[in-house]
Amino acid sequence: MIANLDDLVFRLNNHTTDEGTRFDAVLSENGIIEVVCSNVSEFQINIASTETQLLSVTPLFLKSEVKPGGEAELNELLLQLSPAVPLSSIGLQGNTYILFGAMPLETSFENIVHELEVQAENTVEVLDAIEPLLV
């Protein structure tokens, strides 16, 4: 269990997984942890804390990056992909498509690390699958 977000940032920055993944985590002024996993360093995962859970969100792409007329096909493909990406879901937040996960605050540090690794890998898999539909 994590005592607070500062503790989580400290532990992430000083941890290497069995697979060799390292983390670069920063707590922003607005209380969001910005994390980059070394296994997929191109994408940032943002972690926010609520009263009951940790939410991890990776921005994927903007609606404006979808090929003209391709939004319906993209949405159908994303719905089909969602069950195939473990520990993550796909959604739309404003004009940004996101990959996200949620964990109870009581989640062990080891499970948080695992979920972050998987979310980073899922990001690449989802983007590879839908790349033909993006401009």
Counted domains in the chain: 1
Q: Which residues neighbour 104 within 8 Å (Cβ) at sequence distance 6 or greater?
A: 52, 53, 54
pLDDT in tens, 8-31: 999 999 999 999 999 999 999 999
Q: Which residues neighbour 102 within 8 Å (Cβ) at sequence distance 6 or greater?
A: 53, 54, 55, 56
∠ CA 18-113-99, nearest 5°, is: 125
With a cut of 80, say whether residue 3 has pLDDT above it: no
Under DSSP, the state recorded for 66 is B
Domain that holds residue 82: 5-133
pLDDT in tens, 62-116: 999 999 999 999 999 999 999 989 889 999 999 999 999 999 999 999 999 999 9
pLDDT score of 2: 76
Q: Closest by alpha carbon to 102, among 60, 39, 54?
A: 54
CATH number at residue 93: 3.30.1460.10
pTM score: 0.92
pLDDT score of 27: 97
